[in-house]
Structure 1
Amino acid sequence: MTCNRTTTIRGVTAGNDTVLELLPMVFAAPNDALARAEGVLDTDPTPLHASVAHQVIGIWQRDWGDMRLALDHLRRARELAARADSAEREADVLATLGVALVHAGRTRQGLAAFERGVERGTGHTRARVLYRRAYSWWVLGHHREALDDVRRAIPVLRQADDVIWTARALTLRATVHLALGAIRQADADFTAAEALWDTTGQEHDKADAVESRGLAAFRSGDIPAALRLLDEAEERYAKLGTPTFMLDIRRCEVLMAAGLAPEALAEADAAIAVLDGIGGQSTRKAELLLAAAKAARLAGDAGTAIARAALAVRLFAGQRRTWWEAHAQLVLIEARVATGRGSGRLVAEAVRVAERLSAFGAPAAPEAWLLAGRIALDLDWTTDAERYLAVAARSRRSGPPLARMTGWAAQALWARATGSGRGVLEACRRGLDVLDDHRTTLGASELRARATAQGAELAALAQQVSLERGGPRQLLVWSERWRATVLSAPPTRPPADPALLSGLTAFREIAARAESARMDGRPVPTLEREQRRLEREIRSRTLHIRGDAPGDGDRFDVGRLLARLGEGRLVGLAVLDGRVQVLLCGGGRVRRFAGGLLAEAEREAEHVQAGLRRLAHPGAEDRLAVVEVMGRRLEELLLGEAADHLGSGPVVIVPPARLHRVPWALLPSLRDRVLSVSPSASSWLRARETEPPPGGRHVLVRGPGLATGGAEVPEVAGRYGRPTVLEQADARVPRVLAELDGAALAHIAAHGTFRADSPLFSSLRMADGPLIVHDFERLARSPYRIILSSCDTARLASVGADELLGLVTALLPLGTAGVVASSAPVNDEAVVALMLALHKGLSAGLSLAEALRDARAALPGDALHQATGWAFTAFGAA
């Protein structure tokens, strides 16, 4: 056997050059490279050729398979390289083996392999070894060493005109820059690397470059771009058939920053299970455990966070990855604090972690100093707390938005510790402004709503200071500052994306088929799986939308609110330290009254909901008195003495998100009033000042499957001259949306479904399938007034700081001034009578709230009608 021997392997000539081509091929077409390398070993190859084949198999197993097999193949590759008496070949294999050993957690052996590789290699080969050692330094968290090695490698690789390895080295250097917070330098290297990748056929490396640009977008604060790029990278990897553990880790980071911690936890745990199943890299497992720990902490699952973080700490320590170990320790301390375990020992541990992260130059260092300051404050160690918070506060001036938020939170707590109420309010204002600017980059209403959770602490601090040192007006202003902010501007309309539109159509068809199958008693698992897949695809595409709405420059003005109220009253409910504070606005002033405990009010509201569900069925009339008693108890908890000062005019209730299901008309002081509910005082003002569209079109829609067949629609139609009536085949989603756009009044009689797991897929059933919230968001202008006469259409999901997602909140920012909807199950036949009475008032010129008040009183003494009236609420100001 000679070194220039030529054999044919599965149709490929395999001389020296062609066998060596398998090495770049493993990142261009990994599975093909694996198959061809195995074919080489079947042909009695020379030691040199066999060394290459074993190295290719080792790389494949290292990155996408079993680490034990990877190490076996790479050690065999090294032995064969030595037998071939090729120092350059041996150096190259030693570098590959070094990476595998580091990923297997055998850090000392891996670094020794690199030392030997650097000694054996020369020139171009040594530069490739240095690149791979730089990569391993990055994996280990030794960023300065990584930069030293990669900077030594790049000039040699460029001089050798080695496009592939130069592009890899530039990508690595950019990634290290990102870890150190040097975003501008990272962008420059990513751009240069991408230009080089475009000249190659390295498909896996190209996918990695897209993934890296997603990471860069995330570090710069552009979450929609990050999600889009990571999804694109995943599609590229899927075509190559390779696992995506590093991408999973990065996507978890982005999901957490987007407020989607439960999704991040599920993704991390799923990836860990896959990795364990194939015996994959222990380094990646540790990183996935860290991601899972962070996600669990953010999701409020401290127990899971502690378990995942503790295991990650042990793995990182065993792998000698001190940078990563410090990050895992930070999450572990945060999770322990979340369980109420604040102690002097935890302060000391947090300070040690903060010092280590600062020494590493890690962007997470301010977060650790903030944590140390928080724990010290809780222990009344004021002097220590001030020192730690002052260090954390330095990050408020620069960096990505969430890092600056950390700095402003530290500044606010520092001001609180020093007794400066003015300093607290200024820091809270500046921090929320940063988050406001960040939220305008998010086009999806779900992301904008969830992002508000980042500002919850600042808003609460400002409210607390206002309660202690300011008057009711100041407390009202700060209560409004971070309430229902997602309604402050219309969501960015989804682009005319053919894939998104076809996905929505396919989703409707599958959902309709699944519903039909359920009604016929046929199995639906396959249809349900396809429906879930389409939902994920639709949601993914909407999360990619970048915001184009400017921040809300029209700040809340108490004077303007009081002027607009006239003889009416607005009752704003704020929650501080678990207790309801009632802010009664009207008559030219704002007054504060004490309410009860929020937790008690929530429990009572759930009891009321259960009572209304029972009253929806004939024969439960005796429960009416019990529900009325619950209403009195709710009033005591939610309004307190304010109930005696409501005047005689209309009343607007502005509840916190957690009380959105309260049937307000059940409260004794509100039963006979013109009553409306608004997510915020600001949104009520906008609704109050919204002008009706020209033309005065009326649209009435009847969906399929209603017990009464939407019996109110024909009679209602007679009240409005020549309305557009859509029913049977005409009640299809595209036609319904076209008619709703810009209508003056819409009445939709259709089955409603609320999706607590995914509120933007809450729906109304049309002839061709569900009309979902995502569909409404495509309207240029939603109807000025809209009546949803089915069950649960006013149910909403509470997310973020104080935000609500669902059908009603989708309509209000799009031009709808008023909505009537139900927050509880209702009796279909009783709804018909209520709706007829409601439209009688509307056709006489009454507002939605006035007409609903009169409709509730249309059948005195009828318990079923009474309960149905309580279940419906007028939202907005039309």
Structure 2
Amino acid sequence: MLPGPVLHAAREAMRLADVDPVKAIPVAARIVRESRGDTAARALAEQAWGHALAQTGQVSDAVTHLRRAVRLGEGRAAAESRMKLAFALVHQGRAAAALREVDLAVPLLGARARGQRAVILYHLGRLDEAFSDYQAVDRAFRRSGDKLGQQRNLVNRGILQAERQNFAAAVKDLLEAERLAGELGRDLVVGIIAENLGFVEGRRGDVPAALAHLDRAEEIIGLHGGQLAPVLQDRAELLLSVGLVNEAREHASQAVEAFRAEGRRLKVPEARLLLADAALLASDWAAAGRHARAALAQFTRQGRDHHAALARATVLRAALKSGKPCRISDPDGMIAALRGRPAAVVQAHLDLASVAERRRQPARAVAHLTVASRARVRGPAAVRARGWYAEALLRRRSDPRSALAAARTGLRVLDENHAALGTGDLRAHSAAHRADLASLGLRIALSTGKPADVFEWAERGRASRFLRREVRPPDDPELASLLPLLRATAHELENSPTPKLRQRQLELERRIKNRSRLLRADGAGPAEPVRPSELDLGDRVLVQFIEIDGALLASTLADGRLDLRTVGSVREVGDLLERVPFALRHLARRPRQEIRTLLETTAARLDALLLPRDDRPLVVVPTGVLHDVPWSALPSCRGKPVVVSPSATLWQAAATQPPRPRTFAVASGPGLPGAEEEAAAVAEIHQIAQPHHATVDDVLKALATAGTVHLAAHGRLNPDNPLFSALSLHDGPLVVHDVARLDQVPETVIMAACDVGRPVVVSGNELLGLAATFLERGVSQLIASVVPVPDAGTKDLMVALHRRLRDGADPALALAEAQEELGEPNGFVCVGA
């Protein structure tokens, strides 16, 4: 090769390193080998090689090649290599060395080097200096018409704007950068900008928009062989914002490993800090402290004071939560270092107020709370809600009524922000962020000694997503096309189980879950909880259970009188409850006297602890583990109508619905001994046709048209992924997503299926699963089992139940009388009204 062509090839390798770094690496390596006599070409090829390696995560090797490029280059060429070297050093965690290199490049390269310096200053947490540089660089690039430089600078400035909560400005910068990258043919960069848009929308609190951007980013970056670790990190942070702890932990762990594999040491502690935040949300204080301390040590070595302050604040929070001694040598310095992170600043003031309270320094606690409370007036919903939490704490001692008003406002801010979430799991898990406000309101209410206040705050702290009126995800063609594919795959898997089919099923479930989370609900915000005086109980007694600090309380409303009493410890009740499903399962298979005695003594003990001595019909509002109680097994409930409801407010809404004509439909699924015979018996009672080999479409049509629907099929509760809890039908499973998309649902649904009446309880007493989704969509009464039932053991119960329904009995009474007629305890309950 002649020198001219070699230099031209080196320039082409440099261009390729930007647009397709994977292809650039072997090209640059070949040019280095072939450019023995051309120092300029070799220096440029080394620069292209090092830059491509850095882009693909091979940072240590990148530093080696870029240092060679600096030594070989002269003038502007060496300065260009210094800029790339600074980029690589930053991602090695050597920010101070990176700053030295880029400062040497500024006199020769001007705006471009100054833009690189701004990036490094941003990583060091020196946000004001970085923003000043970005502004100057933007003006310079616009004057010179340098579109590439302008595009890069806009991306970096947009990220900084998001850190400052200037979200509209951030989105504007990133969208302009995306347009310029498209014009320049920088397809990989378009994907990276989409990832940054996801980060910004996540910080702003628009979860569906953020997920859509991150999905697009993952697709584009993956297609072009780029680094997916930042997408994993942003997705983990976003999932944490809506309380999806397990998924966030998984993505953060993957990000840690990916950053390590790519040699990007700068980013590893950031992902470790996300793991600490996830552990805090999961109440795993030991893991939170461990991850936060590891991140702190790495940030300190990297000289990143801003990020070290974030880690130090997380270490403090983990110690506070676990009850360990809290050592903080320079609280004011920590707060100052957190500048530019409003959420972190507010939380740090709240934590420091708690430390001051521990140390009996009330004036200092008030000072911290006063600063934190100022956040209630602006910023994302999560930050404003924390500000209202601080305000409620400030008002707590002097004016409890005003403190409760502040806590109500904070809850309203969160609920209005989450009202647009279109899928049940996001709405349920997002309630994790309501927990502190709801718990504070409950504590204040208990301190007032007014049972009505306690009742209100117990309602505010449970099943808030059921209080949203007419929440329904919109019709979505892609989701509608994926559900039949899942059914077909599941049906094929039952007949011919193979690892390939199982993998296909998991992939379809992942795509359905991700797609559903992009949708926005079209309903209004939440309704206010019902007051005790508004409940139309008639001759019923309502028992509302409340969990606080490991204790279980019961609020009982009867004849207009509201009483509050202590039941006992949650652990004691939980230990007793563990015995009940065990005993019911064994009695159903092979009755033995010792098992019957175990059940009877346990049920009698639970009855004495939980329920008032009253023969009237019951409305039970459970909490936590009490959602799994088979109430008919308790002595005082036998033969007595018992209705279970996630909240008194939901019970009142369902009970006051105008009655619908009692039209009946019935369907059965495959593989369940006695299901078809049971369905035929039910159909004969009501003189209706029974569909043979009922498909999901058959059942969905029945659910959308009939007043009462009986389903005899295999049920599967999926605790790890409740949105794929299902009923098995002849063409595959009917899943939660199918029910969520119904325009209209029956007044009454009876599921003679194993275990599907039991919900998955997540933070905030929110419920997920098939039964919970029926209630959310508006079913007034749902009869199902909260424990496994024998496949062939339900026919007699269902026949007795339906005879009474045919004769006009309400579902709760019909179930109670049918259970009394058969004489054997079982796990069926009536949920709703």
Q: Normalized against structure 1, the TM-score is what?
A: 0.91
- Per-residue deviation, 1:565: 0.9
Gap change, CA 1:65 and 1:184, over 3 Å in 2: closer
SS of equivalent residue, structure 2 residue 676: coil
Counterpart Cα distance in 2 of 1:318 and 1:239: 35
Taking structure 1 as reference, are residues 63 and 294 closer, same or farther at Cα in structure 2, changes over 3 Å only? farther
Give the match for residue 855 of structure 1: 818
| Residues 399-418 of structure 1 aligned to structure 2 (within 5 Å) | 399-416=379-396, 418=397
Q: Which range moved further: 783-792 or 146-155?
A: 146-155
Asked if structure 2 preserves the Cα contact closer than 8 Å seen for 1:27 and 1:203, the reply is no
Could you say which residue in structure 2 is the equivalent of 1:623?
595
Native 8 Å contact 2:90 2:120 kept in 1: yes
* Residue 671 of structure 1 pairs with residue 638 of structure 2: yes
Q: 1:105 to 1:845 in 2, by over 3 A?
A: same
Match of 1:115 among 100, 103, 113: 103
SS at match of 2:184: coil
Measure, in 1, the Cα distance between the counterparts of 2:330 and 2:789. 55
Is 1:821 matched with 2:784?
Answer: yes
Matches within 5 A, 1:44-123: 44=35, 46-82=38-74, 87-119=75-107, 121=108
1:157 equivalenced with 2:157 (yes/no): no
User: Quick one: structure 1 residues 200 and 620, their matched pair in 2 at CA, closer, same or farther if it must change by over 3 Å?
Assistant: farther
Secondary structure in 1 matching 2:338: helix
1:128 offset after TM fit, Å?
1.4
Q: From 203, 209, 223, give the equivalent of 1:239.
A: 223
1:604 to 567, 576, 597: 576
Q: Using the TM superposition, give the Cα deviation of residue 206 of structure 1 relative to its aligned residue in structure 2, in angstroms.
A: 0.8
Whole-angstrom distance in 2 between the partners of 1:465 and 1:875 = 30
Question: Cα offset for 1:515?
Answer: 2.7
Alignment partners' CA distance in 2, 1:599 and 1:277: 44
Match of 1:290 among 248, 251, 273: 273
Q: Does 1:500 align with 2:494?
A: no
Q: Does 1:782 align with 2:745?
A: yes
Distance 1:236 1:97 in 2: 26
Match of 2:508 among 519, 524, 534: 534
**Residues 710 and 832 of structure 1 are in contact (CA less than 8 Å); yes or no, is this contact kept in structure 2?**
no
Note the C-alpha offset of 1:352.
4.1
For the residues of structure 2 that align with 1:169 and 1:440, how far apart are their CA atoms?
A: 36
Residue 767 of structure 1 pairs with residue 741 of structure 2: no
Give the structure 2 partner of residue 30 of structure 1. 21
Look up the equivalent residue of 1:27 and give its one-letter code.
Answer: D
Counterparts in 2 of 1:233-272, with a 5 A limit?
233-272=217-256
* d(CA) in 2 for partners of 1:326, 1:606: 44
CA contact (8 A) 2:472 2:521 kept: no
- Match status 1:594 vs 2:566: yes
Corresponding residue of 1:447: 426
Structure 2 counterpart of 1:876, which letter?
Answer: G
Deviations 1:762-821 (A, max 9, x none): 111111211111111111112211100011011111112111111111001212110100
**Structure 2, unpaired ranges of 5+:** none
**1:385–1:414 contact (8 Å) kept in structure 2:** no
CA distances 1:655-685 after superposition (whole Å, capped 9, x unpaired):
1133100111222222221111000001101
Given that 1:693 and 1:743 are in contact with CA atoms closer than 8 Å, whether structure 2 keeps it comes out as no
- Work out the CA distance in 2 between the residues paired with 1:57 and 1:302: 45
Which residue does the alignment assign to 1:11? none
Paired position in structure 1 for 2:652: 685
Give the 3 Å change call, closer, same or farther, for CA 349–547 of structure 1 in structure 2: farther
Q: For the Cα contact (< 8 Å) 1:154–1:170, is it kept in 2?
A: yes
1:365 aligns with 2:337: no
User: Which residue identity lines up with residue 450 of structure 1 in the other structure?
Assistant: H
1:388 paired to 2:349:
no
Counterpart of 1:794? 757
Q: Which residue of 1 aligns with 2:128?
A: 144
1:361, 1:588 → 2: CA distance?
50
Distance, in Å, in 1 between the alignment partners of 2:183 and 2:695 is 49
Distance 2:341 2:665 in 1: 61
Q: Structure 1: how far apart are the matches of 2:674 and 2:583?
A: 23
Output one character per residue of 1:206-264: Cα deviation in whole Å (capped at 9) or x when no partner: 11221121122112211121112111111111111222222222111111101012211
- Cα distance in 2 for residues equivalent to 1:616 and 1:598: 28
Secondary structure class of the residue paired with 1:283:
coil
Is the Cα–Cα contact under 8 Å of residues 293 and 304 in structure 1 kept in the other structure? Answer: yes
Q: Is the 8 A contact 2:472 2:522 kept in 1?
A: no
Change (3 A) 1:36 1:501: farther
**What SS is found at the alignment partner of 1:281?**
coil
SS of equivalent residue, structure 1 residue 187 = helix
Quick one: which amino acid aligns to residue 829 of structure 2?
Answer: T
1:708 is the counterpart of 2:674: yes
Say whether 1:699 aligns with 2:665: yes
Partners of 2:242 and 2:432 within 8 A in 1: no
For 1:391 and 1:342, the matched residues in 2 are separated by: 24
Q: Which whole-Å CA distance do the structure 1 matches of 2:393 and 2:15 have between them?
A: 54
Contact 2:230/2:255 (<8 A) preserved: no
Cα distance in 2, alignment partners of residues 361 and 447 from structure 1: 25
SS of the residue aligned with 2:435? helix
User: Contact 2:801–2:818 at 8 Å: present in 1 too?
Assistant: yes
The separation in 2 between residues aligned to 1:216 and 1:448, in whole angstroms, is 21
Q: What residue number does 2:436 align with? A: 457
Write out per-residue CA displacement over residues 249-301 of structure 1, whole angstroms, 9 at most, x where no aligned residue. Answer: 211111110101221112111222233334x1110112111112211222222
CA distance in 2 between counterparts of 1:751 and 1:379 reads 58
1:152-208: CA deviations, max 9, x gaps? Answer: 211222222221220111111111111122223323322332332342211121112
Match runs of 1:531-570 below 5 Å: 531-561=505-535, 564-570=536-542
- Match of 1:6? 5
Q: Distance in 2 between matches of 1:614 and 1:376?
A: 54
Match of 1:614 among 583, 586, 591: 586
**Given residue 190 of structure 1, which amino acid in structure 2 is its aligned partner?**
L
**Alpha-carbon distance, 1:349 to partner:** 5.4
Distance change (3 Å), C-alpha of 1:502 and 1:50: farther
- The one-letter code sitting in structure 1 at the alignment partner of 2:830 is A
1:408-465: CA deviation from partner (whole Å, max 9, x where unpaired):
111122223x443123212211111111111112111111111111111211221122
State the number of aligned residues. Answer: 832
TM-score normalised according to structure 2 size? 0.96
Root-mean-square deviation over aligned CA pairs: 2.0
Q: CA deviation at 1:550?
A: 1.5
Aligned partner letter, 2:364: D
- In structure 2, the residue matched to 1:12 is none
Query: What letter matches 2:601 in structure 1?
Result: V
Q: Distance in 2 between matches of 1:167 and 1:266?
A: 33
| Whole-angstrom CA distance in 2 between matches of 1:685 and 1:185 | 46
Give the partner amino acid of 2:334: V
After superposition, give the CA deviation of every residue in 1:847-878 in whole Å (9 maximum; x if it has no partner).
11011011012234xxxxx122xx1000112x
Cα distance in 2 for partners of 1:309, 1:393 equals 26
| CA 1:57–1:658: 2 relative to 1, 3 Å | farther
Contact 1:692 1:744 (C-alpha < 8 Å) held by counterparts: no
For the 8 Å contact 2:232–2:254, the answer to whether it is kept is no
Contact 1:773 1:807 in 2 (8 A): yes
**Quick one: distance in 1 between partners of 2:13 and 2:146?**
16
Question: Deviation at 1:24?
Answer: 4.1
Larger deviation, residues 572-581 vs 202-211 = 572-581
Cα distance in 2, alignment partners of residues 106 and 813 from structure 1 = 52
SS of residue paired to 1:748: strand
Whole-Å Cα distance in 2 between the matches of residues 238 and 691 of structure 1?
Answer: 54
Q: Is the partner of 2:743 in helix, strand or coil?
A: coil
For 1:507 and 1:349, locate their aligned partners in 2 and report how far apart those are by CA, in whole Å.
56
Separation in 2, partners of 1:757, 1:804: 13
Pairing of 1:516-527 with structure 2 (within 5 A):
516-517=495-496, 524-527=498-501
* Residue identity matched to 1:534: L
Residue identity opposite 1:808 in structure 2 = A
Q: Which runs of 5+ in 1 are unaligned?
A: 8-14, 519-523, 861-865
User: How many angstroms apart in 2 are the aligned matches of 1:224 and 1:293?
Assistant: 25
2:296 equivalent among 291, 306, 313:
313
Contact residue 444 and residue 492 of structure 1 kept, 8 A = no
Identify which of 329, 338, 354 aligns with 2:321: 338
SS at the partner of 1:565? Answer: coil
Structure 1 residue 745 displacement after superposition? 0.9
